[in-house]
Amino acid sequence: MMSLMHPEGKPRSRDSSTENSLPPRTQEDLGLDLLARELSGDSLSGREATRVLAQLPTDPDSIVYRRQVLADIAQSAELEAALTALLPKLRELTAFSRSVRDADAPLLQAVWRIGELELYVECIDDLCAAFDATERNGGDAPGDGDTLSEGFQALAHYAREARAAGHFAALKEELPRLKEGLKQKQSVTIGVNLDERFRPVEAALLSVNPERFEQSGILGRFLDSLESSPKYRVSAPLHRMPTPANLPERKIPLTPLFRDLDDVLRSLGKSLQRGLKEFLSVETAPLAGLEQELSFYLGAHRLKSRLEAAGLPTCFPHIADAAEHSLSASGFYNLQLALRSLERTAEAGSAPGTARGIVMNELELGGDVGILVITGANQGGKTTFVQGAGIIQVMAQAGLFVPARSATVSPVDTVITHFPSGEAGSIETGRLSQELGDLAGMFDEATDNSLLLLNESLASTNAAEALVVAEEMLAALRRVGTRTLYATHLHEISERLTELNEPADVGPQVRGLTAETEWDGETVRRTYRIVPGSPQGRSFARDLARKHGISYTQLIEKFTERGLL
C-alpha cells in the first residue's frame, strides 16, 4: 500500500528489522508525550503520534524518505495549504470507508459507498491540482521533477493514474445521477388497516417519497382524514397482527413492522448496489491510509514554523551512516524546555511565540569520541543537555527536523535512558540495589549501536562507592563502543579521564564536559552552557543553599527571629 512514511519495498511491521520501538521508560524520560501533543490534531491522536515517534526507523533510506516529504511541505506554502485543505476530506473518506465495512444493511452500504466514492473523486482531483500547481523545474511533467520527494512523486503518480483511468470519468458522470436517485428516498409512507376497535391488524408500504415527513400535526391530520382517505390496495401486507390470544399483555408489537420495513429497504439497497456494480473495484483505501501520515507531517511543519517564529533555529539533519556513530549538533537546544517557555510566555500574556531563557549548546559525539561525561554545578543544565541530545536523536531518526542550527545524526538501534528519581527503591531493597538492578537491565539491552543516556546514575550511594562503579561501567561501555552521555555529580571522574582512556586503542575516547558557571567570589551565575573541560572544583552547593534560604547566615537569622538564639 502506498505510504508517505515507508519507501516502497521496506517492511512496516513492528517486528521489522528496519524499525525498533523505544522502551516506555525512554519515552517518559524524553517527554515524548509533550512533543506528540504538538504533532497531533483532528486526524492524529497524541497516542498515535507518540507511537510514530517511538517506532524508530533504522534504515537511512527510510529516514531520508520521510525527511524529504516534510522538506517539500516546508519549502512550498502552496503545497502545504493544499494538503491542509485536503485533510478534512481524507478524514471523512476514512470514516465513510469504515462505515461501508460496518454497515450490515444493503441500503446503508450503498449510501455510504456513494459518499465514499464522491469523496474519492474530490480527493483525486484535489491532489492532481495540488501537484500541478507546485510544478517544479527539471521535470518533463508537472510533479515529476527531481525536486519533489520520492514519497510525493509516488502520490502524484498514483493520483494522475487514478484520474486517467477509464472508470474515473464514468464515476464522475454517474455519481450525480445516483445521488439524485437517493434524494427521491427521503421517507416512506406506511398504510395501517384497523379493526372495529381501532387496533392495527395489518400494515403495508404505500410509497417511497422524495421529501421527509414533518412530525407536527401528522396524527391530527391522519385522524381528520380517516373518513375521506381513499382505499389503498397493496399486493401483499408487510405485517399482520397476531390474534388476541397470542398478543402478550395486550401490547402492540411494532418490532415486526420495522423488521418487515427493513426487508423492503434492503431490496431498495440491493437495487442501488446494482447501479454501483461497475465501480466496486474502485479502491479508496490508499487515500484513506494517508490521513494520519499527512496529519503527522503537517503537525511537524506547524511546530517547525512556531519555533522559527519564536526566533529558535531548526534544521533538517544530515543522516550519516550508522557505522559513523555520529550525534553532533551546533546551536542545539532542549525542545521540551523551549515548548514550556512558549507556554509560559503565552500564559503571562507576553508577545505570542516568544521563547525566553533558551540557551544554545554544542554537541559532538562520534569519530574518536564515544562517551561524554558531563559534570559541574547542580542545576547547571546537565539534565537539560542530556535530554535534549536524546530528543535530537529521536526526531532525526523519525524523519523530522531537529532543534539546532545544524546537525549530523547516525541511526541507532534504540535509545536507552536512566533518569532515576530520588525516591526510587523500596525499604527492603534499598535505593542502590534498585538502581544497580535497573542499570543491569539496561546493559542487557544495549549494543554497540545504541545511544545510552545516564542522568545522575549512582547518586543513591556515597561518592567513593559510586566512583568505583562508574569507572568500571564507563570502561566497559568504551570497549563495546556504545555511545553514551553521562551527567553526574561525581566530579572526580573528570580528573580520571586519562586513566579511563587507557589503553588508547581499546575504543573511542571518553571526553569531559562541564556546566559552565561564572563566579565572582561571592555569588555564582549559571550560564546553562555545557562546555569542554572540568568543573571548577566546587558544586556551588552553598550558593544553591542560599537560593533556598538555608545558608548558615540565613538559618541563624531565622532561628534568631524565632527566639531560639
CA-wise closest residue to 434 among 450, 416, 418? 418
Question: DSSP 3-state assignment of 316?
Answer: coil
What's the pLDDT band for 245 if we cut at 50, 70, 90?
Answer: low
* pLDDT tens-digit map of 52-71: 999 999 999 999 999 999 99
C-alpha cell at 14: 513492528
SS3 of 360-397: CEEEEEECCEEEEEEEECCCCCHHHHHHHHHHHHHHHH
Torsion of CA 191, 196, 200, 203, to 10 degrees: -30
In a domain, 4, yes or no: no
The neighbouring-strand residues paired with 374 are 487, 513
Claim to verify: residue 518 and residue 562 sit in the same structural domain: no
In this structure, what are the phi and psi dihedrals at residue 291, rounded to the nearest 5 degrees? -55, -55
> What are the distances in angstroms from CA 283 to CA 9, 193, 287?
20, 47, 9
Kindly state the percentage of the chain with pLDDT values over 70: 73
What's the pLDDT band for 101 if we cut at 50, 70, 90?
Answer: low
* Higher-scoring residue by pLDDT: 345, 428: 345
Claim to verify: residue 147 and residue 252 sit in the same structural domain: no
In a domain, 204, yes or no: yes
Claim to verify: residue 72 and residue 199 sit in the same structural domain: no
Query: From CA 384, how far away is CA 364, in angstroms rounded?
Result: 16
Cβ neighbours of residue 522 under 8 Å, at least 6 residues apart?
Answer: none
In a domain, 139, yes or no: yes
Claim to verify: residue 288 and residue 324 sit in the same structural domain: no
Claim to verify: residue 89 and residue 233 sit in the same structural domain: no
The total domain count for the chain is: 4
Claim to verify: residue 551 and residue 486 sit in the same structural domain: no
In a domain, 163, yes or no: yes
Global confidence as pTM: 0.77
Q: Which residue has the cell 508537472?
A: 142
What is residue 137's predicted lDDT score, i.e. its pLDDT? 40
What's the pLDDT band for 483 if we cut at 50, 70, 90?
Answer: very high
The range of the structural domain enclosing residue 560 comes to 539-565
Kindly state the percentage of the chain with pLDDT values over 90: 39
* pLDDT tens-digit map of 138-164: 344 444 445 689 999 999 999 999 899
CATH of the domain at 395: 3.40.50.300
Please classify residue 44 by burial: count the beta carbons closer than 10 Å to its beta carbon, then call 0-12 exposed, 13-18 middle and 19+ buried.
buried
Query: From CA 399, how far away is CA 151, in angstroms rounded?
Result: 13
Cβ contact 300:402 at 8 Å: no
Claim to verify: residue 30 and residue 173 sit in the same structural domain: yes
Claim to verify: residue 405 and residue 553 sit in the same structural domain: no
Query: From CA 362, how far away is CA 405, in angstroms rounded?
Result: 10
Q: Which H helix or E strand runs over 531?
A: strand 524-532
In a domain, 125, yes or no: yes
Average pLDDT value for residue range 185-195: 77
Average pLDDT value for residue range 208-224: 58
